[in-house]
Amino acid sequence: MPKIKNFSIILSQLTLTTMSTFALAFPILFIFHDLEEIIGMRIFLDRNAEMLQKRFPKIFKFLPNTSTSGFALAVMEEFVVFTLIALAAIYFDNDLCWNIWFGSSFGITAHFVMHLGQSAVIRKYIPAVITSIICLPIGVLVLYHCYPLIHFNIWFSLLGLAIAAANLFLALKLPAKFSEYFK
């Protein structure tokens, strides 16, 4: 009987180690991906301002006054939130935290798909496409392998997705405010 108990402890530790690795994969994928955006965003906006203003005026109104440092601040804020969610899941190791992590990680993966869609719509390279192509299959695989390891709860996962979406909307407002403040 003790052998089964020890096996159960080992299996539990192995699952936590695996989940810890998976949990930290998303902040790493996110920052890797957003570095491409930071590097190319301002150049892209400057070269394509007229086309973006004409075709997407509602979206473009958030972008024209955005500096690279303002955008980097928004990326940092998002990275901190995603990292804290991952660390909370690892530290507390409970269903609520893992489902919030799963939902927010799904949001990051959807973010990669969104950039591919943006590029397809405007029929041009946008800063984010190359890393989206790299990160999307990794994100899907991580979610695929994590799903059976957590006690999935749709409501908690939707909460994580809502946190990711709210964080994105906050991050969209930060760069212009930061850039305007430091002019």
Please determine, for residue 59, whether its predicted confidence score (pLDDT) is greater than 70: yes
Contact predicate 66/41, CB 8 Å: yes
Whole-model pTM? 0.86
Average pLDDT over residues 101-126: 96
| 113: nearest Cα among 134, 130, 132, 140 | 132
- In the chain, how many H helices and how many E strands? 6, 0
Alpha-carbon gap, residue 108 to 157, rounded angstroms:
13
The amino acid present at 78, given as its one-letter code, is E
Q: Cβ–Cβ contacts within 10 Å for residue 72, how many?
A: 18
Q: What is the pLDDT of residues 65-79, one digit of tens each?
A: 788 888 899 999 999
Helices (H), the chain: 2-55, 57-60, 68-92, 95-122, 129-146, 154-181
* pLDDT for position 173: 82
Please determine, for residue 50, whether its predicted confidence score (pLDDT) is greater than 60: yes
In percent, the amount of the chain with pLDDT more than 90 equals: 64
Please determine, for residue 177, whether its predicted confidence score (pLDDT) is greater than 80: no
